Structure 1
Amino acid sequence: MPVPRIQRQYYRNGPPHRGGADVSFADLVKIFGFNSIHIGRWVNAEELQLAANLFFDAFCDLQQLLQVPPEVISLNGSLALTFGIGGQPGVCAHYQPQGRILALAKNAGGGSLAHEWFHAFDHYIAGKMFGKTATRNQFASSAWLQSRPVISHYLNELLSSAYQILFLSADGENESTFFAHCRQLDASRNRLYLAMPEEMAARAFEKVLQMQSLKNSFLVSGTLKSKAAEMGVYPDDALSTELAGLWLQYFRLLGQGLQYKTRSKNTLVDG
């Protein structure tokens, strides 16, 4: 009988965030500020504990990779999590814009967390990048491809540059090689999925993270060696390296800006 996915050993080489101790999902709410966390009724106590530890380590590793304060991981307290609730056959995880919910299946969600988190970020940041010109449930990647006007800000410009090299050719006149390849894959299956801008962006973000030296296979896996990788559903190393330079710089600068704002606020309070 195969071992349930949540009980598998997930590789990670990051620091011991928990010091060997167990944590709870309540700790995730307390530390990262998630809006809410809901657990399915069929998740037993052992699975619940395993999942809490895996989620905690993965989000701590994500925080370290992006160099941001914990509130960025919960998208300023707007992101809700569910684990082991509902689910569809063949779907290991999904992000639901209505309600801003990141959902992982109990026995199939490992390795998908980074992908779904970027969907949540892509949705959250649309309002910051495009204001009211982005529709309520629209992703920033989609709004950018529709040429919605970008609000002038250095962080928005970094994100815009990332979307540009992801979707467009070097001269900006045609679609990128990666975009064209995703379209071809979709055409061969007679469906639109891999070439959806939000899906391309989330897969690219996964690849960027898995290329880093800090590894966590519950956070992300399969972008380097898998059937999907062989098909070319992830950007090649050259494009991924370019995107890493922009996305990691974006999050580092975002983190520095938020920390400066917090220090300034505390200085005013203490003074």
Structure 2
Amino acid sequence: MKHQIEDFGQKIGGSRKELFVKKGLYAKDIEEMTPLEQEEFVKRDIIFPKPKYEEMVKKGMDRFIVYLHKEIRLCIYPNPKLVIRYGSRDEISRNECLTYYIETIHKIMAALDNLKDYSGLQDFKNFIQTELFIEKSDKKYYLSVGGYITVKEKIFSILSQESIAEMLVKMKKKFFCIPKDRIAEETIKQRYQVNEYDGLTFRYFEEDHNSKNPKVYIIMSFSNGKSFYYINRNEFKKEALWNVGNYFVIDKYGRTICMVGDKASCQKFIQEKVAEMEQKLLLEKENNSSESKRKKRFVPAQLSKVTREGEELLNGRSITGDMMMKAFKFRAGEFGEWLSDNDRQYSLNYSFEAFYDLAKIMNIDLENISLNGQLAIAFGARGRGSALAHYETGRRVINLTKMRGAGSLCHEWAHALDHMLAKFFCEDSIHLATEIDGHEKNKLPASMLRVIDALRYKPDSRELTKYYLDSERFDTLAGKTTHGYWRSRPEMFARAFENYIDDKLIAMNLRNDYLCGHSQSYYQVVGDNVIYAFPIDKEREFINSCFDELILDLKKEGFFKEMAGNPKERVKKIMNYVPAIKIRERQKGLNGSKNTEQISFF
């Protein structure tokens, strides 16, 4: 699809739609990655994505062989083990470690492609011993360099009789690749077994005939031993029932006899047990379903319209990518392939106004908005699942989704700020400042440390804030996939910052929904209580004062510059050469210099 409005600036690269989706990840790719991208992408799950095991079984592969594929894949470390030296080898560089990791995984994948049935087990065992291990003179096997970086040592014995027996038990217990509608039947099949009494393999045995309540067993004989199954129901103890040709059901877990009779009655017993299990599983499913409804991933509602209240800035003109770079010094801009020209134009205009308002209320130079030329912006190009927006540390780019991203710009800019503070003060381009611990943390400004502390603790105490406690509660309400997301320091920092900016907007009689329209949407009502995942009341005031100190310090440190002159005049100069193209209606506010704009998405 050809667009009139194209990407601008440098090529950002590395978007999810481009990286390794079709071609896979190979050793040659690491040369083009930043260290942070190497950390993000050189992983087992990207190099060797989880196969569709159910489809492999459906295509006829033995269920245990498929399970073996799964267990072998799990022997690969999720991330490479970075080593400096191994054995007598010279120093191993980071890129060499990554190369070993990627190439070894590809070798394992190729070997698994040839492991389609039991006849391939010996070849795979040979592969393990020759490619992942080295046989030394003492006849012992040691991991090779690639093996040590890539796999757990237990892979060496994965095909031993003990390991295979253990995997068979696990496979059955997990109902691996068993269709859901057969789990009840499989559960009963694992526990109960119908047998024909023959008087040889199975023998009736009564212990202590003279006892009023003698112990009666059925003894099952096999090649290397015997098993005893106790008959605890009096009606089944009568020896007359145990005629050759009769059938009985054993409970393998309880080692008891639970039914004796003809074949039909024993099969009926099994069918009744299957029906009971199906009912039990159905009830469990309903309970889990109601639980999942209570614990659902929290996503702020899409804004029905975007409102901006403030001085008229664009005067009906349309922003271009060049203007974004000239005004704010953005490194690059990118649009999603399916974003129409109209959507692209709205995105440029909204974000230009939002960044201008952000610079004005922080009283920083317009160029500081791009964090001094390091930041890129993307619209609908690099989406991640259901996220409204996200910041990519590897490429230093903010992405806003087509419609749902409106309202999240300030939140993601806060993540970018968090990242650049770590790089500026700690020379750490991988982590965010809020993630840094230990002695490195002391390189951050004292005001930044106070902000981080204020998110979790009340002033001059170690008592937890309501903000932290409610964020922690949010994690329990929002489902198991969040893994501490809401109470993490980076997220608490970003939510607090967008509320700080929202308060500044209100104080200056301004409003910009595109910038921080979601700032106060992070709450849930539980019974008579409201759980807030953003600062409120006195805590909010204190955190805001800490942010004030941080912004002042960042100006003193040269991270930000004070806004000089009239920024609106600068915007006018940038826009001078662009013809006026009116793309939407604007209404003059009642107070002259103010302008109120409401654009509906529907």
TM range (shorter): 0.7 to 0.9
Q: Quick check: 1:115–1:206 contact (8 Å CA) kept in 2?
A: yes
Q: Which runs of 5+ in 1 are unaligned?
A: 264-271
Structure 2 letter corresponding to 1:207: N
| Equivalent-residue separation in structure 2 for 1:87 and 1:203 (angstroms) | 20
**Corresponding residue for 2:499?**
207
Q: Distance in 2 between matches of 1:35 and 1:225?
A: 31
Identify if the C-alpha distance between structure 1 residues 170 and 147 changes in structure 2 by more than 3 Å, giving closer, same or farther: farther
**Deviation per residue, 1:8-48 (Å, 9 max, x gap):** 64111121222332211221111101111111111111111
1:74 aligns to what? 370
Aligned residues: 251
- Point out the structure with the larger strand share: 2
**Superposition deviation, residue 86 in structure 1:** 3.6
1:198 equivalent among 490, 494, 497: 490
- Mapping of 1:93-108 within 5 angstroms? 93-108=389-404
**1:222 aligned residue:** 518
Task: State the distance in 2 between where 1:253 and 1:19 align.
Answer: 35
> Are residues 1:169 and 2:458 paired?
yes
Cα drift, residue 207 of structure 1: 1.3
Please give the alpha-carbon distance, in whole angstroms, between the structure 1 residues aligned to 2:460 and 2:552.
Answer: 28
Cα deviation, 1:218-248, whole Å, max 9, x if unaligned, reads 0012333564595311111322222222223
- Please give the alpha-carbon distance, in whole angstroms, between the structure 1 residues aligned to 2:385 and 2:521: 24
How far did residue 119 of structure 1 move?
Answer: 0.3
AA partner of residue 343 (structure 2): E
Determine which of 165, 171, 179 is the counterpart of 2:468.
179
The answer on whether the counterparts of 2:309 and 2:511 sit within 8 Å (CA) in structure 1 is: yes
2:546 aligned residue: 246
State which of 338, 354, 357 in structure 2 corresponds to 1:42: 338
Map Cα deviations across residues 111-145 of structure 1 (whole Å, 9 max, x no partner).
0000000000001101333x24x5x321111215x
Q: Which residue number in structure 2 is paired with residue 237 of structure 1?
A: 537
Q: Does the Cα contact within 8 Å between 2:447 and 2:553 map onto a contact in 1? A: no
RMSD (CA atoms):
2.7
Distance in 1, Cα, partners of 2:522 & 2:415: 21
CA change 1:105–1:170 in 2 (3 A) is: same
AA at the equivalent of 1:185: F
Counterpart of 2:430? 137
TM-score by length of 1: 0.82
Aligned pairs (5 A) from 1:155-166: 156-166=445-455
Query: Is the 1:67–1:252 contact (alpha carbons within 8 Å) kept by the matching residues of 2?
Result: no
Distance 2:366 2:524 in 1: 31
Mapped to 2, the partners of 1:56 and 1:22 lie a distance apart of: 10
Contact 1:69 1:255 in 2 (8 A): no
Q: Which structure has the highest helix share of the two?
A: 1
- Residue 148 (structure 1) shift: 3.7
Identity, in percent, stands at 25
Residue aligned with 1:94, SS = strand
- 2:390·2:398 contact (CA, 8 Å) conserved in 1? yes
Q: Deviations over 1:66-85 (max 9, x none)?
A: 11001211011111111111
* Cα drift, residue 253 of structure 1: 5.3
User: What is the CA–CA distance in structure 2 between the aligned matches of 1:226 and 1:176, rounded to whole Å?
Assistant: 16
CA gap of 1:228–1:28, structure 2 versus 1, over 3 A, is farther
User: Are the counterparts in 2 of residues 67 and 251 from structure 1 also a CA contact under 8 Å?
Assistant: no
State which structure, 1 or 2, has the greater radius of gyration over its C-alpha atoms: 2
Task: Name the aligned partner's letter for residue 10 of structure 1.
Answer: V
8 Å contact 1:92–1:105 — kept in the other structure?
A: yes
SS of equivalent residue, structure 1 residue 150: helix
